[in-house]
Amino acid sequence: MDYLPIFVDIRDRLVVVIGGGAVAARKTEHLLKAHARVRVVAPELDTTLCVYRDLGRIEHRPLLFSPAQLEGAQLIVAATDDDAVNAAVAQAARERGIWVNVVDDAARSAFIFPAIVDRSPVIVAVGTAGNSPTLARRVRTQIEALLPERLGQLADFAGRWRARVQAALPALPQRLKFWDSFFNGPVASQLIAGRNAGADEAMQQRLEMERATPDSKRGEVYLIGAGPGDPDLLTLRAQQLLQQADVLLHDRLVPEAILARARRDAERINVGKVPGRQDVTQDYINRMLVEYARRGLRVARVKGGDPFVFGRGGEELAVLREAGIPVVVVPGITAATGAAASAGLPLTHRGLSQSVTFVTATGADTSLLDWKALARPNQTVVFYMGGAQIDLIASRLMELGLPATHPAAIVERATWPDERVLPTTVGQMSAMARQEPLRSPALLVVGEVAALALPSQIGAHHVADARVAGELDLHVRAGG
């Protein structure tokens, strides 16, 4: 480490800035944000600095530099465009034992300014020991994207509670665990979302619960939507909680690349359907969730897509609430929106489709559907389904009046590396599904917008499909 990163309390202390141009102004702004007293020594000031002077926020000495101007300074910044002056400032500062920064000159500087991400009171400082300020700024931008906008409010809240938590939980390990689970828990999510109402009451409750179970045997469950498959479509919160969890209960559809983002020592349990083995029942999963949480573990229930879209997340949430176990729900990109994005198929589109319906068409559920409503034009219906249902869907829709030429698209393994988009029609989709044959998971999109899907990897069928797609195009233009 070439430099020691420290945060300096400069409030009401004197900083002398030599130079009156744009660079000096930028440094002055930073110093003022940290509530320093700033003296600017320069014969002339740029506009920003003039404003600060007129507002009385800085002391201006309209003079050329002389060491006498450094009197009383705690820090010094040399920001002139004259190398000789900067050198003289640096030397005078060092002789007096005062910390000096010469802008863009690490060799002459006793300290350098880092690039910062400001979520006050949380501040992240990035430095490259003067090697590349541009690189520091790039790193800053990346971190900027990672940190929630309201992180500062969260820190303020934690600061207000710090003493009370310390008094309530004197044992350090228990306190650490409490804070850890606080920052990943529902109260913190609310604060980060900007909803402060009730946060204090919720915090009080949590603290009392924690005190009532001194062993800190309070687990919690994260119901995480892992998205349609591509690991880059995970939300930031999903990643944070995957890192936090002690145990993962995941579905079969969640790819290895996503599970790999969990902690290495986290236990993984596949509760998805495994062909040839007896399925793990939903009831059994519910009981596992409660059981693990009661052992004090942080349990990540990782589901494909979104937990609340045909994911039985609602049932799990109800069971956990009933058992009094804290739950955080993390939304995921559902298969329909993932497929729509990668097929270039908008789910609603002016003039083509005014609404979108997500339907599950697995086995017994299909008799409950309002097929008449699903067979209307100018809408989009996305069927989450087993491939076997496609015949039934096609015949029901046509019986109820959709023309055989009505556009449809099958999207297999959306956002996976081997994704396939098959544009088709209601009349042809059964035959297409048999010919291909479909690989799971697959979605069926029915509606005028399906004609906009960009076919991918259609292999031997691409000539026939291109012709169909062309016809669809005309059909859509005529219809829309």
Which residues carry out catalysis? 251, 273
Nearer to ligand SAH, 218 or 413 (CB): 413
Residue 145: its H or E element:
helix 133-146
- Which residues within the stretch 211-240 sit at the binding site for ligand SAH (CB under 6 A)? 228-229
- Please state, in angstroms and rounded to a whole number, the distance separating the CA atoms of residues 428 and 425: 5
Alpha helices in 260-385 (DSSP H): 282-294, 313-322, 335-343, 371-374
Q: Is residue 423 at the binding interface for ligand SAH, with CB under 6 A as the rule?
A: no
9: nearest Cα among 31, 26, 27: 31
How far apart (Å, rounded) are the C-alpha atoms in residues 260 and 172?
31
Q: Is 310 in the site for ligand SAH (CB under 6 A)?
A: yes
Please tell me the distance from the alpha carbon of residue 387 to that of residue 241, in angstroms, as a whole number. Answer: 33
Q: Between 313-322 and 282-294, two packed helices, what is the crossing angle to 10 degrees?
A: 40
Q: Which residues of 100-123 are buried (b: 16+ CB within 10 A; e: fewer)?
A: bbbbeebebbebbbbbbbebeeee
Sequence length of the chain is 480
> Torsions phi, psi of 117, nearest 5?
-110, 120
Residue 219 vs 407, nearer CB to ligand SAH: 407
255 binds ligand SAH per the rule CB under 6 A? no
| From 2-10, 238-246, 265-273, 382-390, span contacting ligand SAH (CB under 6 A) | 382-390
Nearest CB to ligand SAH, comparing residues 19 and 304 = 304
- CA dist., res. 7 & res. 195, Å (int): 30
Provide, rounded to whole angstroms, the least separation between the CB of residue 307 and ligand SAH: 7
Q: Assess 301 for contact with ligand SAH (CB under 6 A).
A: no
User: Closest CB to ligand SAH among 348 and 360?
Assistant: 360
126 binds ligand SAH (CB under 6 A): no
Residue nearest to ligand SAH (CB): 305
The verdict on 335 binding ligand SAH (CB under 6 A) reads yes
| Residue 331 binds to ligand SAH (criterion: CB under 6 A) | no
- Among 151, 411, 433, 452, the residue binding ligand SAH under the rule CB under 6 A is 411
Q: Which of 442, 452, 453, 458 is the binder for ligand SAH (CB under 6 A)?
A: 442
Q: Judged by CB under 6 A, which of 185, 311, 423, 447 binds ligand SAH?
A: 311
**Judged by CB, which is closer to ligand SAH: 297, or 361?**
361
Looking only at the bridges linking them, the beta strands covering 58-61 and 442-446 are: unpaired
**Stretch of 80-88, 177-185, 333-341, 449-457 contacting ligand SAH, by CB under 6 A:** 333-341
Buried b (16+ CB within 10 A) or exposed e, 299-333: bbbbbbbbbbbbbebeebbebbeebebbbbbbbbb
- Beta carbons of 331 and 307 less than 8 angstroms apart: yes
Strand partners, 422: 410
**Does 413 contact ligand SAH by CB under 6 A?**
yes
Shortest distance in whole angstroms from residue 400 CB to ligand SAH: 22
Q: Is 390 in the site for ligand SAH (CB under 6 A)?
A: no
- Return the number of the residue (58 or 443) whose C-beta is nearest ligand SAH: 443
How many helices (H) and strands (E) the chain has is answered by: 17, 17
Amino acid at 148: P
Among 17, 241, 385, 452, indicate the residue that binds ligand SAH (CB under 6 A): 385
Confirm or reject binding of residue 415 to ligand SAH (CB under 6 A). yes
Interacting residues with ligand SAH between 22 and 61 (CB under 6 A): none
Tell me which residues touch ligand SAH (CB under 6 A).
228-229, 253, 303-306, 309-311, 334-335, 339, 384-386, 411, 413-416, 441-443
